[in-house]
Homo-oligomer: A and B are copies of this chain.
């Protein structure tokens, strides 16, 4: 019996998602396997409301298909001042959809994810991506970056199980 964990990296233009199956140790070594990963994208220069509808519909579709038991989502701060409001509005739609699916979630800061995957809170993006590939036994680094970030969130959550 494993746990399906979905990582989510919210944004208005690109929302990364990455689902893994976590198998507990049971006398052996705990393992994580990738299930699916990708991005929900909304076109620039279109109405904010329409972009939020796309996120709402596509995320419902992702949750219906992947049926995660736990979600790991990036904790939100003011570190991207220019588009903070737009990203927070998109995150509000994500939190709405998670609640509509009655899904429990855990939040991690970027530094917490880096610490969990590399042992170092200031690790470079590439080091985190390499750790994602290693943990999931992938030959290469998952693309695009937002999907890799989402998988990193899911892996960080699996370490707490």
- Give Cα distance in the complex from A84 to B95, angstroms: 16
Give A79-113 interface residues, CB cut-off 8 Å to B: 84-85, 88-93, 95-96, 98-100, 105
Asked whether, in the complex, the Cβ of A92 is within 8 Å of the Cβ of B88, the reply is yes
- Give Cα distance in the complex from A47 to B76, angstroms: 16
Contacts beyond the supplied A49-B98, A56-B96, A84-B84: 19 A-B pairs with Cβ under 8 Å:
A49-B96, A49-B99, A52-B92, A52-B95, A52-B99, A53-B96, A53-B100, A76-B85, A84-B88, A85-B91, A88-B88, A88-B89, A88-B92, A89-B91, A89-B95, A90-B92, A91-B92, A93-B93, A96-B96
With both beta carbons as reference points, the residue of chain B lying nearest to A12 in the complex is identified as B92
- Give Cα distance in the complex from A48 to B107, angstroms: 13
Task: Point out the residues of chain B lying under 8 angstroms from A88, CB to CB.
Answer: 84-85, 88-89, 92
Q: Does A36 contact B (CB under 8 A)?
A: no
Bin the interface of chain A by size.
20 to 34
Q: Does A50 contact B (CB under 8 A)?
A: yes
Task: Point out the residues of chain B lying under 8 angstroms from A93, CB to CB.
Answer: 92-93, 96
- Give Cα distance in the complex from A127 to B158, angstroms: 56
- Give Cα distance in the complex from A56 to B99, angstroms: 11
Task: Point out the residues of chain B lying under 8 angstroms from A89, CB to CB.
Answer: 88-89, 91-92, 95
- Give Cα distance in the complex from A67 to B143, angstroms: 44
- Give Cα distance in the complex from A52 to B95, angstroms: 8
